[in-house]
């Protein structure tokens, strides 16, 4: 496939970084696909196509998705939007662990219905077996309309932690085998709790971990145990949810989400104190949120969502917005960031 022409409008290209020791490089700013699955509000194919097209025009080349995001909608939208683009011009990561199946009879409601809107008549079941992993990959490739995947992640094992043995004896060997064959370039886990990476690092050879909402401007539990071990092993981090599900991208007034729920008062209070510091330096809180994680030496990318091309443009502006070193120092002085958190020094 020759691929359609991609217009580059930015004078400063988005930096790329390597995933682990794989040779695979991703743009430091990516596009998280949860929003394209209808997170909080419905998204149409036209909106998703607008977002992907604008991302490509602005130099963003890394897209993350998962079967769970809108029960296949995110993968399908991304696949449709990328038709005609040379496959070697972008990187895709998706996830295994949830098999999508047509509904037989009335679909049983789940927690997904509280998060994603306008879901199709599809249900899911957890499956971390070898066969389930291979089927999930095949299904994802069909929805994405691609003949290869770059990064495949074991999705949110916390929900089925009792089945860890199956993950490490079923899913992991299947992924490792595909990696050794060159079918997949990198493997890892997508985690809501960073400490869950520790047994995986003990029992397997992983290239990256996507940590959602646990190494952000607002909170850094991953900094204590998980990330030092990853750094020693040469494992990369991909930051999911850099806005903490919306808090750091909002006006901090009302109806603010934090990890898919209404933000509690203490979270809003801390975010407002951070915003006050940012305001003194004329820096948008969103810019600080996106740039904070990228300073850490093992972070390869940050992947905020974007429902439209306009939101994608805003993310690019925020990741490039100049931030004085003194602002980071003041955030630490005000005990809003830990001293040990890497921040720019000059």
Residue in 64, 139, 150, 207 annotated catalytic: 64
Residue 304 burial by CB count (10 A; 0-12/13-18/19+): exposed, middle or buried? buried
CB contact at 8 A, 34 and 305: yes
* Contacting residues for 174 by C-beta, under 8 A, at least 6 apart: 130, 133, 134
Residue in 62, 73, 77, 95 annotated catalytic: 95
CA–CA gap between residue 173 and residue 105 (Å, rounded): 35
Active site residue 172: no
pLDDT in tens, the chain (346 residues): 345 545 444 445 699 999 999 999 999 999 999 999 999 999 999 999 999 999 999 999 999 999 999 999 999 999 999 999 999 999 999 999 999 999 887 777 777 888 999 999 999 999 999 999 999 999 999 999 999 999 999 999 998 999 999 999 999 999 999 999 999 999 999 999 999 999 999 999 999 999 999 999 999 999 998 999 999 999 999 999 999 988 888 888 877 878 777 888 888 999 999 999 999 999 999 999 999 999 999 999 999 999 999 999 999 999 999 999 999 999 999 999 999 999 988 7
Residue in 62, 69, 128, 243 annotated catalytic: 69
Residue corresponding to tokens 């080349």: 61
Fold of 16-333: TIM Barrel (3.20.20)
Residue 240 C-alpha from the chain's centroid? 3
Active site residue 69: yes
CB contact at 8 A, 196 and 209: no
Which pTM does this prediction carry? Answer: 0.94
Tell me how crowded residue 284 is: count the other CB atoms within 10 A of its CB. 18
């Amino acid at each position: 496939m020759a691929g359609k022409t991609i217009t580059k409008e930015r004078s400063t290209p988005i930096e790329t970084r390597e995933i682990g020791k794989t040779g695979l490089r991703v743009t430091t700013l990516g596009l998280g696909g949860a929003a394209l699955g209808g997170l909080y509000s419905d998204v149409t194919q036209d909106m998703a196509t607008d977002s992907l097209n604008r991302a490509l025009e602005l130099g963003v080349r890394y897209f993350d998705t998962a079967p769970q995001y809108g029960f296949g909608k995110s993968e399908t939208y991304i696949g449709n939007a990328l038709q005609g683009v040379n496959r070697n011009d972008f990187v895709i990561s998706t996830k295994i662990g949830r098999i999508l199946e047509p509904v037989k009879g009335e679909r049983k409601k789940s927690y997904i219905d509280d998060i994603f809107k306008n879901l199709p008549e599809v249900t899911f079941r957890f499956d971390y077996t070898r066969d389930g992993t291979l089927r999930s990959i095949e299904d994802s490739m069909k929805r994405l309309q691609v003949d290869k995947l770059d990064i495949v992640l074991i999705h949110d094992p916390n929900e089925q932690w009792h089945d860890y043995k199956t993950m490490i004896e079923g899913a992991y060997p299947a992924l490792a085998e595909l990696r050794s064959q060159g079918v997949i370039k990198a493997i890892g886990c997508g985690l809501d709790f960073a400490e869950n990476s520790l047994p995986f690092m003990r029992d397997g050879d992983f290239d990256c971990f996507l940590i959602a909402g646990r190494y952000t401007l607002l909170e850094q539990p991953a900094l204590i145990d998980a990330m030092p071990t990853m750094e020693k092993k040469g494992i990369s981090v991909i930051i999911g949810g850099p806005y903490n599900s919306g808090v750091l991208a909002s006006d901090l007034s009302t109806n603010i989400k934090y990890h898919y729920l209404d933000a509690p008062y203490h979270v809003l209070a801390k975010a407002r104190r951070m915003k006050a510091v940012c305001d003194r330096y004329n820096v948008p809180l969103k810019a600080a949120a996106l740039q904070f994680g990228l300073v850490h030496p093992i972070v390869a990318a940050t992947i905020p969502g974007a429902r439209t091309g306009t939101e994608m443009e805003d993310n690019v502006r925020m990741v490039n917005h100049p931030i004085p070193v003194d602002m980071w120092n003041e955030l630490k002085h005000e005990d809003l960031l830990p001293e040990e958190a890497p921040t720019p020094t000059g």
